[in-house]
Structure 1
Amino acid sequence: MPGRYGNGYEWYEMGFFAQWSEDNIIRVLCIDIPPPIRHGLQNTLAMAGSSPAELGDPFAMLYPLLDEVVTECDDNVWRVTKEARHENATFEALNNLSRHVRHLVEVQSVAIETWQALISQQRVNFSRLSDKVSERHKIQAIEHLEFQSQMMKGIRWRAQASSDRLDGEIQLAYNILASTDSQIMKSIALLTMLFLPATFVATLFSTTFFSFDEDGWLFSKAFWIYWAVVIPLTIVVLLAWWLWLGGSTQSIRLRLLHTS
């Protein structure tokens, strides 16, 4: 059950064990169930006191319990959906919420498989206990389980939609951060370009090739050595950068092809 901005989560590892005997005694052991399910089940059983259950059905006590499980799963998904739509959630909260939504999807997928197994087992039970349960109750019991299973499928798809929505918002946040970093890098590059010409001129005229004194400006005849060294060195640096960039791009493409 989620709290505000992905905090205050409580996960319950619910377990149910049912025992049925031929003298129509049913025992159901419920372990680690949240308070809403416990209170809802107590109210349901209290209201059903005037219409006793068909105790010849081994799953008779499971129907109200499973109804409460479906209701609780539906409420949990709606809570997560509301959290996912909140505009002021932080990036860390979105990641935490996405992790819990994935857990919800996994749990509900397993629950759907469990429901299908219950339906199959109930058909076997009714085939073996044909004289203990009326045909009308058999039809209603199977339809009830199938309805619950279909409800869980719908809840599971809503949880999956919330997970996809969160993934999209997280990806958008990544893109916004990358765009912000790109703008910062452009600003740094612009400042560098503004100061680079002046820095180059100041550095060049501060070399020993130039001399400024009272007699005037003296220029060294060996100034060509500066260009003879700088031009080839610049070409080598640009060539090394081009080769390194091409190799990095190729490795990234190969990695993407391998992972896909």
Structure 2
Amino acid sequence: MSIVNIVEDINPSQKRLQDLLQRHSTEKLTLIFTSRENLDENPILREKLFRRYSVPEYIWTKVCKRLQGYFGSEDIFSSDDSTIESHVTWFHFEIKYPFPPPPKKKEGAEYVPPDPPPQDGKKPAGYAWYKIAIITTWTAPDQHTIIFLDARDSPAHSIRNELKSNCENVKNEAALENPYWSHQFLIGPILACYDQAVWNLRDLVKALEQGRRDGKHAVTNAIDSNDSDMEASRNTFNSLHEILRHALHKTEILGVAIQTLDSICSRKRIFESERYSNEAAVNIDAPESVAVAKRCAKKIGVYLDFQLSIVRSLEARARANEARIRSEITLAFSIVAQLDSQVQAKIGEAARNDSNTMVKIAAVTMLFLPPSFVSAVFSTSFFSFSPPGDDKVSRDFWIFWAISIPLTIIVFGSLYPGGRGLSFRRRVAIAAHHKPSVSHRTILPM
């Protein structure tokens, strides 16, 4: 009897999955690769598949399709409800793959980085989402069926190859009597994809940090920014926030993955406590194998706990990436604020220079304004200072100076900064702006 049967329903026209459903499986392990698109296009085939392996239709609802991860299970009992005939589990993982920056070009070699896949027919977005759903059905005592959805897309394609390689080497062993035997090698390839996605994000953060250390950070441009500098700085801020968005998603999906794996481990312990209890062991055909089954279950549980610890470690790395990119954003804003302060300081210095110049111009204007005014008044027809005879200058010329000099002193004393003149100018400004001269203070009760 064959131990492993691998059914790849990648091409629906071959009808391999339909052929499988029309016969009774005798293999110890049946591995089915299909996709959501195939089952969406063939609802009758999906209904037969779910009915054959006791899969709930609820996992095909929009609610479950939108989730980033979940786990569920169900026991199928015999007709007299005395023993468990089969155990079904279904779980889902979602991975966000940010594409790493292109590596440094080596001397004498030209590297062309691969283009990211388009998103919904649009231009490449620099990242991609991958959904991986797995359904397992264990039929007592040792028959397993694994349905792997969306195995065509990368990185799920590499997972499929690894699963095929692991399944082809399956042998008759006592561990097959545990329904969670398959989970230990199903989770491993998925964790490898999570690991790669986390380190891809770390590479993006590291590239920004390295650019800052090398002085190539667009935000740290000189103060005298031109249009190209402003555009580069804007792009850098967009990149910072885009990477932060990836980091937030990464932390979120890893947290959901931890919950999913923790649910798998908890449900496994519940199943084993019920199946291998003293009352349930009496109904097993070979009670002497209970001790062996418990040892296998413990071994599987230890490995699943190890995988759970790996995901927790990846979540810690993802949180560190999130903290690092937040630090870069804070530093970038601080640098921009410092540069802006320096620019404002230079603008203020230039304004002070302009103000000093205007003060000098105003002083010269005030110096010549009173004599000009007196000259204009004396030049009217109301006054006559014509010199008698052949004199060039009128004897009353002293009147001009007697009026102009005191008037100039009065104007300078009342308008030039200092002392009471400053108070006068403040009063004029307050009256012009209709503001009270003394600010009202509100005294709060102690």
- 1:41–1:65 Cα contact (<8 Å) kept: no
Tell me if 1:49 matches 2:171.
no
Q: What is the aligned counterpart of 2:189 among 51, 68, 71?
A: 68
Q: Percent identity among equivalent residues?
A: 20
Where structure 1 has 5 or more consecutive residues not aligned to the other structure, the ranges are: 248-260
User: Structure 1: how far apart are the matches of 2:437 and 2:145?
Assistant: 75
Q: What is the aligned counterpart of 1:59 among 180, 184, 204?
A: 180
Tell me if 1:11 matches 2:171.
no
Higher helix share: 1
- 2:159–2:189 Cα contact (<8 Å) kept: yes
- 2:100–2:201 Cα contact (<8 Å) kept: no
Q: Which moved more, 1:213-222 or 1:50-59?
A: 213-222
Matches of residues 79-158 of structure 1 in structure 2 within 5 Å?
A: 79-86=200-207, 87-88=210-211, 90-130=236-276, 131=284, 134-158=293-317
Match of 2:427 in 1: 232
Q: Secondary structure at the match of 1:10?
A: strand
**Partner deviation per Cα, 1:40-92 (whole Å, 9 max, x = no partner):** 33334324423337432222222222101111111111111111011347222
Counterpart AA for 2:99:
G
Match of 1:193 in 2: 352
Q: What is the aligned counterpart of 2:144 among 20, 26, 45?
A: 26
Aligned pair in 2 of structure 1 residues 26, 233: CA closer, same or farther (>3 Å)? farther
User: Structure 2: how far apart are the matches of 1:240 and 1:98?
Assistant: 50
Tell me if 1:40 matches 2:159.
yes
Q: Secondary structure at the match of 1:144?
A: helix
* Rg larger in structure: 2
Name the TM-score, length of structure 2 as normaliser.
0.48
User: Structure 2: how far apart are the matches of 1:99 and 1:205?
Assistant: 62
Aligned pair in 2 of structure 1 residues 40, 187: CA closer, same or farther (>3 Å)? same
**Partner deviation per Cα, 1:68-117 (whole Å, 9 max, x = no partner):** 11111111111111110113472221210111111111111111121111
- 2:132–2:156 Cα contact (<8 Å) kept: no
User: Structure 1: how far apart are the matches of 2:436 and 2:180?
Assistant: 75
Match of 1:210 in 2: 370
Q: Secondary structure at the match of 1:16?
A: strand
Counterpart AA for 1:121:
R
**Partner deviation per Cα, 1:177-225 (whole Å, 9 max, x = no partner):** 0000000000000001112112123235436943447999845366266
Counterpart AA for 2:427:
P
**Partner deviation per Cα, 1:157-190 (whole Å, 9 max, x = no partner):** 0111111111111100000000000000000000
User: Structure 2: how far apart are the matches of 1:163 and 1:135?
Assistant: 42
- 2:150–2:156 Cα contact (<8 Å) kept: no
**Partner deviation per Cα, 1:119-170 (whole Å, 9 max, x = no partner):** 1110122223335771221111100110000000111101111111111111
Match of 2:386 in 1: none
Aligned pair in 2 of structure 1 residues 137, 4: CA closer, same or farther (>3 Å)? closer
Match of 1:257 in 2: none
User: Structure 2: how far apart are the matches of 1:196 and 1:161?
Assistant: 51
Q: Secondary structure at the match of 1:58?
A: coil
User: Structure 2: how far apart are the matches of 1:180 and 1:186?
Assistant: 10
Name the TM-score, length of structure 1 as normaliser.
0.79
Aligned pair in 2 of structure 1 residues 18, 39: CA closer, same or farther (>3 Å)? same
- 2:178–2:293 Cα contact (<8 Å) kept: no
Aligned pair in 2 of structure 1 residues 242, 167: CA closer, same or farther (>3 Å)? farther
Aligned residues: 245
Aligned pair in 2 of structure 1 residues 136, 186: CA closer, same or farther (>3 Å)? same
User: Structure 2: how far apart are the matches of 1:15 and 1:210?
Assistant: 93
